[in-house]
Chains A and B, each alone.
Chain A
Amino acid sequence: MIDVEKKLHRLNDRLAYIKDIFAGKQNEAVRMLQVRLDDFQARVAEMSAQERLSAISAMEELFTFMEQKLDEQLSPMDKVRIVRHPQRICLRDILENVYDNYTEIGGQDDKSIDPSMLIARAYITRRRGKALHNQPVMVIGQETGHGDEFRNGGSVKPWGNAKALQYMKVAEIENIPVHTFVFTPGSYPIEDYPGAAQQIARNLYEMAGLKVPIVAVFSEGGSGGAEAIGLADRRLMLSHGYYSVISPEGAAAIEGRLRDGTRAAPELIERCALQLKMTAQDNLRHGLIDQVVEEPPLGAKPYHYEFFQSLRNELMRATDEVVLTTRSFALLRGAISQPHRPKSLENYNAENFVTRWSLSTKARDRLVVLRQKKFRNLSNGRWIDPRTSFDLMLTKIQATSTDLLNLFRHDLWGRRKKQLGYAVEEMDAGARMLLHRIFNPFFSFTRELFGTKPRAKIAEELTTLSSWEEDGSKNGTWSYISSKAKEDRAVTCPNAAKYGCLDLWAPDLFGEFAGVCTHCGYHFPMGYKWFMYNVFDPGSIREFNQEIEATNPLNWDGFDAKLEQAKQKTGLKSGCITFEASINNTRMCVALLAASFRGGSVGVAEGEKFLSAIERAQRKRLPVLAYVHGTAGIRIQEGTNGVIQMPRCTIGVRRYIDAGGLYLVVYDTNSYAGPVASFLGCSPYQFAIRSTNLGFAGRGVIKETTGLDIPPDYHDAEKALSRGHIQGIWDRRDIRANLQQALVTMGGRNLYYK
């Protein structure tokens, strides 16, 4: 009887779980299960022991059958409910069941710097003949803890991500692979040091060059939080998980233009979940993950031991593949690195093989190159490029010839020239020293005897005041005047109540004053053209890749029309403008994110243009300036294709900086979310124009997700500077002079002008 009661209790649990997943949807199968279970419970007391056992077995079979049937009907939003359910497997379950042994590092339950980030040293034991091999790995992932309140649902605070990075570097030192597990709805959006955005950017930057294999498993991949540990050589995804640019609720709030925490209608959320194409199958189809790990019907739970066995096998297999692709046997590499796993490897049981997971120095370098190549190719072609194949070939030829020219100019001839120059300098210095030592006694004797007369120039320097050096400032005479300056109206400074600023006449303010309040220094937003035409040498701008056009890769309802509207309004084809320009004849590559084009959001086209600009700069030894006129984040309508631009572009930046370039970022107006948390935030030289706001999430999102009220100046550039997120604040009128200064004082070894 006790046995039957236990089984009955479990069936009730299974039914409650099904109801949670389908969240009140009127499903015939769920109703039928409820009726059958109620009926059984009503009759169970009258049954004999034998009848009870057979009836409960029949009920269990019915449940198993119906669960399989229901599994086929799961909508994307049902899958979101599965991954958020407290019964969903969590990282500790995986550590218990997938690895043979583990030690948690840096925390025990709530006694941790961030209980939502779990780090463990673990090992997997493999057998070759009679010998046992313990293969150590660093396990890093978000821990949801079956709904433990202190885990924040896997929302990691900036210091949690910093801890993850610290142990990735430990793994690099110890030459062991990293297994990351993504169980997060998103990062905890606070700016306290190291800052949500800046820390994710740092993680991405470091992972882009981490010299050990990384295998990531996605269960709940919520945007930036997922990317903080998701940049991996192999990306597996659980079949009932989701990986998305934004939560369906967040997307619905944006689509429905809801404010002040108003909840979106369930139908709209459901529709957004569908349009975001965020399931494992969608992501595999788009090539954004490598493989799907099948889960039991309606999602894996902690008692699904067979699932853990298959996950273990897939993890070992993925790690083996990454390691083997870096080995020096070219034939072996070729066989393994095929995009689709050969049929002969389909039934590969990793338990029966042992592949050493430590890498040689050369293999480690090869691993990083492969990872960088892999991400470069993600989301390829999901933009419009009207250029013919002939045009593209010409561009390629041009690029190759530039490569060759630079190889000769900078590497072959340039390096020799430099070496020769150094040798001449040294000889010259030595000769001067020698002459000085020989003749100095004679000169000092004559100086003492006859005295010295100060030269006229020295005398002038000592007796007159120094004059102001030409610093590039234009004293209010600008080459380009904003169209706002044509309006005959007065403008009130937002700080008027606080500082008593007087009204300014628009032609003065947006003309001569460059949009700066003359009383308090508040910077009014200006169009991106003001920057383009007032900062660089006149006539020096050469735009490239202007043909690349933003598109609607997920066929999001109504987005084509919105995109068309933005194109017509701005005359741009995407939110990123890339060009070469000069400041005082120093040539540089500029990637500009224009706020006027869909809020400066970044999608595949923008990512591609940014990457191309970085690569062009690397090829031509030019410094790179990312001028962020404004960005609202990743374009949600492009789904995971958009979010993948975060690691993709960061890898580009990493390659460029490693090659010895100078990567400067200048923020203007408002910059938030994904781009700041990746390819912008990873720059060692970030500056903001005064009155800029920058951060990870806006006020509404912070209130909604954390419940915290934030002060109005929370995202101010001054605050960002105090927190150490940026390195300086510039006056708009001094951008040119400051850039000039930055070009000569900052940057790497491989710039053409250095």
Chain B
Amino acid sequence: MLDISKLLEEIKQTPFDKVEIVSPWCGRVSFADIKEEDPVAGPSGNWLEVPGTLLANVEREHNPKPVRAPEKGRIEIIHNELEGQFIEAGTPLLTLKHFLTKQEVIQIILKQALHLFNAPERAKYYFVPEVDVKIRAAGHRSVRIANGMDLFIMSRMKREAILPYSGPEGLIYSVYFSHNENVGAGEPLIGVCPEELMPIVEDVVARVQAEWEEQE
């Protein structure tokens, strides 16, 4: 069985992701005015319309194309030796240390702990009436499901079909679709958690919410 506490401890040991920035194309590199340990920002704004911090320009055919930070974090390594050099696409330019946010930590844990049941095709999905009643009455985390159980109604272009659940037995931990909205093929519909893991997952998520300190 998955040891979630151990997983959390492991994350705590290295509470960051290392993001390697590679040159997307070939060209001559000139790094922006940055140094190691400098903080950088990823794209921001409601529509991610504000670009991330400029890290370098890779000039090709007199066209200085910018390379920007994809995530918030700190610069760990800059390959300054490449300054002014002509490089191939895919050459590492810098490494960013991206500190995990609460949401990212929770996502890592849930990814390990939950079984995701995905939409087989683009359609609108609804729970079958019996399950829907239970969810309305006591919330989705009280609904126990098993392999082969009729769980969804898949609705598309006035065609409705029953979609049975396939996967391990457990409780519905999270629902990723909403009423009357289309879900694309391959996108998750629900996350299912084995019943015995449920209290531990809930506890760990609550601990992360309360205790996780996001580093700049």
A residues sitting closer than 8 Å to B (CB atoms) are 487-492, 503, 505, 709, 711-712
Contacts and interface: CB of A to CB of B under 8 A. Distances in A.
A488 B60 CA distance: 11
B60 A490 contact: yes
Contact of A492 (B45, B47, B63): B63
Contacts of B61: 488-490, 503, 505
Contact of A489 (B45, B49, B63): B63
Given A490-B60, A490-B63, 10 more contacts: A487-B62, A489-B61, A489-B62, A490-B61, A491-B63, A492-B65, A503-B60, A503-B63, A711-B47, A711-B49
Contact of B46 (A488, A491, A505, A711): A711
A488 B61 CA distance: 8
Contacts of B49: 711-712
Interface residues of B, number: 9
B63 A488 contact: no
Nearest to A489: B62
Contacts of A490: 60-63
16 contacts: A488-B61, A489-B62, A489-B63, A490-B60, A490-B61, A490-B62, A490-B63, A492-B63, A492-B65, A503-B61, A503-B63, A709-B45, A709-B46, A711-B46, A711-B47, A712-B49
A163 to B, nearest CB: 31
Interface string B49-66: 100000000001111010
Interface of B: 45-47, 49, 60-63, 65
A505 B62 CA distance: 10
Nearest to A713: B47
Query: Shortest 9 CB-CB distances between A and B: which pairs?
Result: A489-B62, A490-B61, A490-B63, A712-B49, A709-B46, A711-B47, A489-B63, A712-B47, A492-B65
Nearest to B66: A492
A278 to B, nearest CB: 35
A494 B70 CA distance: 17
Nearest to A505: B61
A709 B47 CA distance: 10
A711 B46 CA distance: 8
A489 B64 CA distance: 10
Nearest to A504: B63
A702 to B, nearest CB: 13
A490 B62 CA distance: 6
Contacts of B46: 709, 711
Contacts of B65: 492
Contacts of B47: 711-712
A167 to B, nearest CB: 38
A509 to B, nearest CB: 11
B191 to A, nearest CB: 30
B51 to A, nearest CB: 10
Nearest to A496: B65
Contacts of A505: 61
A505 B47 CA distance: 30
A490 B28 CA distance: 14
A491 to B, nearest CB: 6
A712 B60 CA distance: 28
Nearest to A503: B63
A489 B45 CA distance: 32
B28 to A, nearest CB: 13
A711 B45 CA distance: 9
A136 B45 CA distance: 53
Contacts of B60: 490, 503
Contacts of A489: 61-63
Contacts of A491: 63
A503 B63 CA distance: 9
A366 to B, nearest CB: 54
A712 B50 CA distance: 10
A523 B63 CA distance: 18
A589 to B, nearest CB: 40
A510 B143 CA distance: 62
A703 to B, nearest CB: 11
Contacts of B45: 709
A689 B134 CA distance: 56
Nearest to B50: A712
Contacts of A488: 61-62
Contacts of A709: 45-46
A505 B60 CA distance: 11
A487 B47 CA distance: 34
A505 B61 CA distance: 9
B24 to A, nearest CB: 10
B95 to A, nearest CB: 22
Contacts of B63: 489-492, 503
Nearest to A487: B62
B39 to A, nearest CB: 19
Nearest to B46: A709
A487 B60 CA distance: 14
A710 to B, nearest CB: 9
A586 B215 CA distance: 69
Contacts of B62: 487-490
B68 to A, nearest CB: 10
Nearest to B61: A490
Contacts of A487: 62
A583 B63 CA distance: 37
A488 B65 CA distance: 15
A490 B61 CA distance: 5
Contacts of A711: 46-47, 49
A489 B61 CA distance: 5
A80 to B, nearest CB: 32
Nearest to B27: A490
A487 B63 CA distance: 11
A514 to B, nearest CB: 20
A489 B27 CA distance: 13
Contacts of A712: 47, 49
A490 B25 CA distance: 13
A711 B63 CA distance: 28
Nearest to B48: A712
B89 to A, nearest CB: 13
Nearest to B62: A489
A408 B128 CA distance: 82
B203 to A, nearest CB: 37
Contacts of A492: 63, 65
B27 to A, nearest CB: 10
A489 B65 CA distance: 12
A505 B45 CA distance: 32
A688 B62 CA distance: 31
A489 B60 CA distance: 8
Residue of A487, A491, A492, A505 with most partner-chain B CB within 10 A? A492
A500 to B, nearest CB: 12
A376 B47 CA distance: 46
A709 B63 CA distance: 32
A490 B47 CA distance: 28
A324 B61 CA distance: 73
A728 B189 CA distance: 41
A503 B26 CA distance: 13
Residue of A490, A491, A505 with most partner-chain B CB within 10 A? A490
B192 to A, nearest CB: 35
A490 B65 CA distance: 10
A589 B46 CA distance: 44
A493 B46 CA distance: 23
B130 to A, nearest CB: 41
B139 to A, nearest CB: 34
A24 B46 CA distance: 38
Nearest to B60: A490
B64 to A, nearest CB: 9
A491 B64 CA distance: 9
A340 B65 CA distance: 64
A487 B65 CA distance: 17
A669 to B, nearest CB: 19
A669 B91 CA distance: 37
A189 to B, nearest CB: 18
A261 B61 CA distance: 37
A677 B12 CA distance: 58
Nearest to B49: A712
